[in-house]
């Protein structure tokens, strides 16, 4: 059994989750489910990043303690992941005692390597990024990520020798597929070519964080703290057996705004600490809404909780995975959401399940096929036999939109097979040998589509599989075998068709 450890970024506990957080986490969950149903030993980690000066400021503005602030936000994340059927194996919080031990253990390794030294920093600092920026990185005087003014900060603290790893990081990025997709890889190579600078590894102005060992008036830089969560989540340093089982990670899934920390800082810290590097970092794009940047300030945002409550978790998952080529920026519109729901889920997959189960129940007296498959069955089998390789290739290359598209294309093939073979006509004609062949191929093809849809539509696809095969989808169910006939159950439509115009999405408050 192959170990497959993948992670979302841990989400900053400054506010409730938004659609971008949902997008990343749904993608990670779909990948995890695909590898689970394939039989891999999967561990999915997510969580919240709860330290830093920004948390202190927000809590003070709200009249809360930092602990009260992060507890409330973390509860909101946990609740949303339950609503969206996210099956994580561990939810890590950076305020946990176990995480603090991991951060301190990593820090001590960095000290032992000689890569920490005392220095003075003076310049621009973005409290939202928890990062210092050089003058040539600013947009005017503003943070290049948030577009808001940076603070001018001067303090003595610990620095990490990132510059020592310039050559090693360039080889890693240039000669391997460590950074994906290609556009992000080229972006990181551009940063490396400009020359890597050592970065400040501790803070004196911050109190809400992990104290530096031996220096209680300083806390460890929040990005070192946050990145260490990938070690904490699988037992470092307390559970070496679990850690050795899953580390190094197969995949860190992140948004493109934090690639510098994951593709430069993180591998350098691991090299310094003498720990193996993760296999790959994949940075997806940003979401916009109606062609404009998603922003709570302007009110142009979508509350994923409201969206899931109105349309169901599967519909939200499907739209985000199918409509946006993974790795690129994508735009959310309600019109496109409804159109995609009706075309792919209501008219195609939901309709297929309804047709297959209704036909089978209506003709339950027809025995298991005695007739020989004809040309339509041979063509259907060929399509089914290609499904495994095509879906696997899509998931393994992180083309999640392609994985959804491939299954959807097969669903269309099965619906066309039903239309072509016209089982209702065969029943009327009394051609029961031929009808048995058609029913068996229809049921098995619909079941196979449901099995491959499970990572994307876990609730509806599992329900469909139970209706078509009398059992939940299990590893090994991805092969086409029309000789198996099961008790079939007819249920209500999986995806009732929506009116094209249905009002506005509830905006996040």
Catalytic residue list: 18, 21, 126, 129, 143, 146, 293, 296
Sheet of 330-332, strands arranged across: 292-293, 287-289, 330-332
Query: What is the CB-side half-sphere exposure of residue 218 using CA atoms within 13 A?
Result: 17
The DSSP bridge pattern shows strands 281-284 and 251-255 to be parallel
Q: Which string of b and e fits 457-484 if b means at least 16 CB within 10 Å?
A: bbebbbbbbbbbbeeebeeebbebebee
Under 8 Å between Cβ of 233 and 241: no
Contacts of 378 (CB under 8 A, 6+ apart): none
Integer Cα distance of 486 and 443 in angstroms: 9
Residue with tokens 């009327």: 428
- The helix/strand/coil state of 21 is helix
- Range 59-67 contact pairs with CB under 8 angstroms and sequence separation of 24 or more: 66/208, 67/95
Integer Cα distance of 413 and 419 in angstroms: 10
The DSSP bridge pattern shows strands 11-12 and 41-49 to be parallel
Integer Cα distance of 426 and 438 in angstroms: 9
Sheet of 215-220, strands arranged across: 202-203, 215-220, 211-212
Residues in the chain: 509
Residue with tokens 């197969």: 250
Candidates 172, 128, 179; CA nearest to 149 is 128
In DSSP notation, 116-128 reads EEEEEEEEEEETT
């Amino acid at each position: 059994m192959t170990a497959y450890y993948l992670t979302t970024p841990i989400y900053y506990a400054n506010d409730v989750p938004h659609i971008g957080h949902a997008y990343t986490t749904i993608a990670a969950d779909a990948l995890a489910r695909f590898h689970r149903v394939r039989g891999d030993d999967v561990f999915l980690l997510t969580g919240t990043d709860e330290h830093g000066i920004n948390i202190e400021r927000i809590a003070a503005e709200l009249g809360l303690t930092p602990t009260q602030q992060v507890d409330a936000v973390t509860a909101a994340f946990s609740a949303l992941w339950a609503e969206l059927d996210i099956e994580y194996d561990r939810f890590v919080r950076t305020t946990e005692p176990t995480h603090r031990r991991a951060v301190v253990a990593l820090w001590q390794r960095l000290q032992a390597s000689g890569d920490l030294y005392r220095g003075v920093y003076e310049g621009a600092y973005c409290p939202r990024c928890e990062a210092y920026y050089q003058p040539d990185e600013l947009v005017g005087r503003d943070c290049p990520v948030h577009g808001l003014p940076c603070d001018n900060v001067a303090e003595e603290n610990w620095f990490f020798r990132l510059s020592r790893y310039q050559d090693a990081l360039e080889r890693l990025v240039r000669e391997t597929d460590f950074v994906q997709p290609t556009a992000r890889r080229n972006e990181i190579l551009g940063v490396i070519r400009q020359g890597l600078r050592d970065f400040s590894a501790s803070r004196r102005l911050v109190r809400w964080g992990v104290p530096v060992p031996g220096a209680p008036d300083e806390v460890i830089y929040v990005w070192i703290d946050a990145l260490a969560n990938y070690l904490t989540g699988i037992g470092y340093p307390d559970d070496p057996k679990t850690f050795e089982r899953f580390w190094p990670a197969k995949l860190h899934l992140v948004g493109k705004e934090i690639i510098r920390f994951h593709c430069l800082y993180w591998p350098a810290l691991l090299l310094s600490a003498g720990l193996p590097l993760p296999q790959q970092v994949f940075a997806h794009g940003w979401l916009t809404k109606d062609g404009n940047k998603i922003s709570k300030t302007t009110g142009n945002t979508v509350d994923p909780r409201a969206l899931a409550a109105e349309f169901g978790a599967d519909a939200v998952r499907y739209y985000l995975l199918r409509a946006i080529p993974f790795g690129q920026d994508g735009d959310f519109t309600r019109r496109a959401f409804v159109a995609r729901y009706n075309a792919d889920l209501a008219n195609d997959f939901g309709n297929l399940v309804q047709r297959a189960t209704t036909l089978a129940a209506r003709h339950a007296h027809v025995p298991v096929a005695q007739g020989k498959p004809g040309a339509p069955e041979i063509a259907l089998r060929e399509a089914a036999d290609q499904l495994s390789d095509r879906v696997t290739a899509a998931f393994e290359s992180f083309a999640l939109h392609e994985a959804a598209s491939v299954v959807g294309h097969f669903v269309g093939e099965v619906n066309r097979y039903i239309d072509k073979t016209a089982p209702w006509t065969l029943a009327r004609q009394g051609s029961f040998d031929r009808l048995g062949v058609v029913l068996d191929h229809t049921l098995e093809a619909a079941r196979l589509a449901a099995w491959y849809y499970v990572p994307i539509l876990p609730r509806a696809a599992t329900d469909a599989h139970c209706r078509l095969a009398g059992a939940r989808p299990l590893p090994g169910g991805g092969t086409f075998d029309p000789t198996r006939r099961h008790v079939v159950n007819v249920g209500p439509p999986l995806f009732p068709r929506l009116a094209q115009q249905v009002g506005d999405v509830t905006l996040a408050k």
